[in-house]
Structure 1
Amino acid sequence: MTVFRTRSGAVRGRRTARDPGVVVLRGIPYAAPPFGADRFRAPRPAAAWDGIRDCAAFGPVAPQSAQLPGAPGWSPGDEDVLSLNIWTPGGVGDALPVLVWIHGGAYVFGSSAQPDFDGTALAGHGLVVVTLNYRLGFEGFGHVPPVGGESCPDNRGLLDQIAALEWVRDHIPAFGGAVGNVTVAGQSSGATSVACLMAMDRARGLFRRAIAHSAVNSCASPESAARTTREVAAAAGVPATYDGLVSASPGDLVDASDAVADGYRRDPGSGSRHYDPAIYGPVADGDTLPLDPLTAFAARPAADVDLLVCHTTEEYWLLDAVGSSAKITTEEQLAVFAEDFRLPASLLDGYRTLMPGAPVLDVYLAVYGDMLFGEYSSRLAESHAGAGGRAFLSRFARQRGGRGEPVRAWHCADIPFAFGNLDEESVHFLVGGPPASVDHDLSRRMMRAWADFAETGDPGWPPVSGSTGAVRIWDTAGGDSGGAWERFRTGWRGAGLPLLAP
């Protein structure tokens, strides 16, 4: 066992069985429990402690209804949910690059305890890896009306992430990390969180580089956030006021949020929310988050932050496979989908031309996945580069054949490769079973790119220049399977990309 001394108190970690050169510490509080008098408030610093805190177990996860493979669920009564974990190959006196990971999960589920986020392999590449929990769902992203002239901030989940980064700034040297060389990284809603942090004044100076995998095109307006609050309050049976909402337990608001989302899912006439009703997201409130990230990158560039972007080439097939997306199987349904998102017929025609003979469902999945993830992520990189920042773009195109349908290059499949956790049984659904040698080789290359980017700002290929530049294709096979995706972008350039509000 190894003891590290921080400003808050001493903590004890353990060498990992997988790599004895790496020490892991789990469940370190970076902020006070956000409940009781602190519920719906900005995070406050965690209390210091006496003696040595044994950091063997992950901290409690944020309130949610999900139960993910290999990860703990939320238990009512768990309140100390703002904790982080550290994997380090170093100690005091070292100055290793730091990678801080923000998990995804549509802003309503997930945690740092998921096995695919184990930082051992990445730490073995010379990084100090930090993963964290933050408030989700209504607790983290629900709009709470003012009370007694005092406002509860929107984007509490983002403020939690900033608090974690501030903790890293203040404490990471004790674990061998370099304060001036921090990279913040995330996937899906975690990636959009990263983009939001780049746009937030409160996060300035807390990180030098950013990695965003499959950023999701979803940012709420104050009006849409207020509407969601009214709907969730009604489902919970309480007034849509501070007093009404605080009277509902965290579990009540989780159940009410699920009920609201399920109502949209069951109603084909409910507009754009019907297709995948993720009802929460960052709120562009003009205060904590001035603008949605894509607009902010052009209007308020963070040119001093290097950005590495990746997306998968078949993002939305995962959401169809797990049943979270509407089934669109007829031309009539596809036309309604296009109308709900105000997509021109020419865009659908372009996809049909590029996907000859494809069923309607596949055309829908391709269009929706690109609108939500692929095209949006690509534009984040290009917008950042166009504003004078350094941005690198990559695509994950690895597929795997076998019995039945091939395992696609779908949402989340890239993360076990980037973390080096392919042998973890809980990720085999994502990657198509136990890995082959070519998969391990791809994983080593992706980890090396992350480690090099975190250390030097250079992942190993040229940056984007304006709207052009090299794109790294991550695949186990040769050919241009990922590069071919570029043809689908023509239609979006002509049609424009709608910015979506949850």
Structure 2
Amino acid sequence: MTERPCGAERLFRTTGGRVRGVPTGEGVTAVRGIPYAAPPFGPLRFREPRAAPAWSGVRDCAAFGPIAPQSAELPGSPVWRAGDEDVLTVNVWVPDGAEGGGLPVFFWIHGGAYTFGSSAQPDFDGTALARAGLVVVTCNFRVGFEGFGHVPGFPDNRGLLDQAAALSWVRENIAAFGGDPANVTVAGHSSGGGSAVCLMTMERTRGLFRRTIAHSVPSSFYTVDLAAAVTGRIAAAAGVAPTARGLLSVPPAELVAASDKVAAHCGTDPVAAVHAFDPVLFQPVVDGEVLPLDPLHAVAAGAAREVDLLVCHTLEEYWFLHAVGAVRTVTTEAELADAAEALDLPAHLTEGYRALMPHAPVLDRYLALCGDATFGEYTTRLAERHARAGGRAYLARFARERKGVRPWHTADVPFAFGNLDAVGADFLIGGAPDEDDRALCARMVRSWAAFAATGDPGWPAVTPDGTPVKVWAIPGDRVEADDTSGARALWRDVPFAPMRPAADAGHGARGARGA
């Protein structure tokens, strides 16, 4: 129910109480920082999210809620401070005229290596998508150890459980904002994309949404054994035993610091050789309960065939991670061979990329190989497996280039969100946008909105026999028949499986990858 007691002010009635939004000045009202679950600290720390307490009167929702414990300081975004506890909140952008109800709902999950980030990042502002006819929801959830660290006796994947609780809040409340609870699209990028495809396959989220948009889905998932081994390293850095009692005794700020310390020394990590080349400490855990299978295997088995899927990846994902110093630099053939072994990649891949890029330096071949291993091939294969299992799937690749800037990881997000002028977007897209960029942005916003509304983004779907690809580019887009570079042929018989400790693997951290 929407109330308009005076002028442009808009009040909305939720199950927890009434909330007041603020107009953005563009025909949209933003309602920020609405609790969807209780603060996950004190007696609720490391537990499943619990219901948020109700309030009396009208809650002023002009500002974003506190972000989850982390050390990151991102452009234009708030930082976490010790004592910030009410971190499980959602934000809603409502277009004018939504009082009639029935609008498609777009639910966004931020990325950040499952370790950092928040819904308050400027490039995730929902105004442009709301103007395109969507009710937009973004959420904060537990990240890092609080959200994804293994704690004996407590549930794994607490960050995913938070997201599921936020989706339940949407089911119960979004009609009050003009949204259709039966037409919800879950979307995310990078670890947010990984979260989105996990939610597709989880039993507890069944029926809460009907579509998924996942950009740059990472291929990494942990076994319980590897998650426990990572916890052992972090507990040692914090000076406690890797038990529930020991971990509960460490304040969140100290666990963040201990995790950062372990990540900084991943180059000599004996737990998993992969951490020498991919220092991301936290991943969803294939625990057999919250997450029975990794998404690729679950989708291939038909676990989510009723959910429409749109996936996208950029052509040169890893160049961004190298530019921000997030991954190791590899410049010699010997280092490249070590990286492939650590990542459990067969030798024919390094040889194949050398043949495809005969004049490229080793670093470029390494970044191309790792980008496809971590994001490109896994994302593409999700669409293909989903289509073969009877689901509807669409595939896109982001290929927009500018002199000196590659189509790298995260560059597609400001375009699809309609936020090319947001704080920090200039770095992602290579400077101020020009008219061609704005035209591409408008096309991508329309495709997201169309998919969320109808399940059709505007190009042919993947079929069991073919993989048409929408290529987002300047000056114009095109549809191709899968990959034209030859790289995908190299991956044809290379399977993926959750990572496990190096001691248990065949010859690398991933061991026998699975089918």
Q: If the length of structure 2 is used for normalisation, what is the TM-score?
A: 0.93
Aligned to 1:53: 59
- Relative distance call for 1:26 and 1:480 in structure 2 (3 A) is closer
Partner Cα separation in structure 2 for residue 136 and residue 467 of structure 1: 39
Aligned to 2:428: 430
CA deviations 1:299-337 (Å, max 9, x no partner) are: 242111000000000000000000011010001101111
- Relative distance call for 1:226 and 1:241 in structure 2 (3 A) is same
Of 15, 22, 26, which aligns to 1:14? Answer: 22
1:496 deviates by: 3.8
Aligned to 2:205: 203
Aligned to 2:503: none
The reply on whether 1:408 has 2:406 as its aligned counterpart is: yes
- Relative distance call for 1:249 and 1:485 in structure 2 (3 A) is farther
- Relative distance call for 1:351 and 1:479 in structure 2 (3 A) is farther
Partner Cα separation in structure 2 for residue 236 and residue 496 of structure 1: 36
8 Å contact from structure 1 (residues 195, 212) kept in 2: yes
CA deviations 1:165-186 (Å, max 9, x no partner) are: 0000000000000010000000
Secondary structure (helix, strand or coil) at the match of 2:313 reads strand
- Relative distance call for 1:201 and 1:243 in structure 2 (3 A) is same
Secondary structure (helix, strand or coil) at the match of 2:90 reads strand
- Relative distance call for 1:159 and 1:479 in structure 2 (3 A) is closer
Secondary structure (helix, strand or coil) at the match of 2:101 reads coil
Secondary structure (helix, strand or coil) at the match of 2:278 reads coil
The reply on whether 1:96 has 2:103 as its aligned counterpart is: yes
Aligned to 2:490: 491
Describe how 1:20-59 pairs up with structure 2 within 5 A: 21-59=27-65
Of 264, 267, 273, which aligns to 2:266? Answer: 264
Partner Cα separation in structure 1 for residue 485 and residue 49 of structure 2: 42
1:480 deviates by: 7.3
- Relative distance call for 1:268 and 1:321 in structure 2 (3 A) is farther
- RMSD of the alignment, in Å? 1.7
Structure 2, gaps ≥5 residues long: 1-8, 501-508, 510-515
Partner Cα separation in structure 1 for residue 194 and residue 224 of structure 2: 18
8 Å contact from structure 1 (residues 347, 495) kept in 2: no
Partner Cα separation in structure 1 for residue 164 and residue 477 of structure 2: 41
Greater Cα shift, 338-347 or 442-451: 338-347
Of 244, 250, 266, which aligns to 1:242? Answer: 244
Q: Percent identity?
A: 59
CA deviations 1:8-29 (Å, max 9, x no partner) are: 1110001103x1x110011000
1:276 deviates by: 2.0
Secondary structure (helix, strand or coil) at the match of 1:42 reads coil
Partner Cα separation in structure 2 for residue 167 and residue 105 of structure 1: 23
Of 58, 63, 69, which aligns to 2:69? Answer: 63
Partner Cα separation in structure 2 for residue 497 and residue 316 of structure 1: 19
The reply on whether 1:440 has 2:438 as its aligned counterpart is: yes
Describe how 1:85-484 pairs up with structure 2 within 5 A: 85-89=91-95, 90-146=97-153, 152-265=154-267, 271-401=273-403, 406-466=404-464, 468-478=466-476
- Relative distance call for 1:170 and 1:82 in structure 2 (3 A) is same
Greater Cα shift, 421-430 or 260-269: 260-269
Aligned to 1:149: none
Residue identity opposite 1:444 in structure 2: A
- Relative distance call for 1:460 and 1:500 in structure 2 (3 A) is farther
Partner Cα separation in structure 1 for residue 298 and residue 176 of structure 2: 35
Partner Cα separation in structure 2 for residue 174 and residue 480 of structure 1: 40
Partner Cα separation in structure 1 for residue 340 and residue 282 of structure 2: 22
Residue identity opposite 1:16 in structure 2: T
Partner Cα separation in structure 2 for residue 468 and residue 77 of structure 1: 52
Partner Cα separation in structure 2 for residue 485 and residue 434 of structure 1: 30
Partner Cα separation in structure 1 for residue 149 and residue 271 of structure 2: 24
How many residues in Structure 1 have an aligned counterpart in Structure 2? 491
1:109 deviates by: 0.3
Greater Cα shift, 132-141 or 476-485: 476-485
8 Å contact from structure 1 (residues 186, 211) kept in 2: yes
Structure 1, gaps ≥5 residues long: 147-151
Partner Cα separation in structure 1 for residue 343 and residue 31 of structure 2: 45
Secondary structure (helix, strand or coil) at the match of 2:219 reads coil
Residue identity opposite 1:9 in structure 2: G
CA deviations 1:446-502 (Å, max 9, x no partner) are: 000000000000000111002523210001135879865552101011444465469
- Relative distance call for 1:102 and 1:274 in structure 2 (3 A) is same
8 Å contact from structure 1 (residues 313, 485) kept in 2: no
Partner Cα separation in structure 1 for residue 377 and residue 118 of structure 2: 26
Secondary structure (helix, strand or coil) at the match of 2:411 reads coil
Of 75, 79, 82, which aligns to 2:85? Answer: 79
Residue identity opposite 1:135 in structure 2: R
8 Å contact from structure 2 (residues 115, 144) kept in 1: yes
CA deviations 1:264-315 (Å, max 9, x no partner) are: 1366996211112111111100001101111111224211100000000000
Partner Cα separation in structure 2 for residue 284 and residue 248 of structure 1: 25
CA deviations 1:163-221 (Å, max 9, x no partner) are: 00000000000000001000000000000101100110000000010000000011110
8 Å contact from structure 1 (residues 217, 500) kept in 2: no
8 Å contact from structure 2 (residues 311, 395) kept in 1: yes
Residue identity opposite 2:167 in structure 1: L
- Relative distance call for 1:380 and 1:476 in structure 2 (3 A) is same
- Relative distance call for 1:481 and 1:312 in structure 2 (3 A) is farther
8 Å contact from structure 2 (residues 330, 363) kept in 1: yes
1:342 deviates by: 2.7
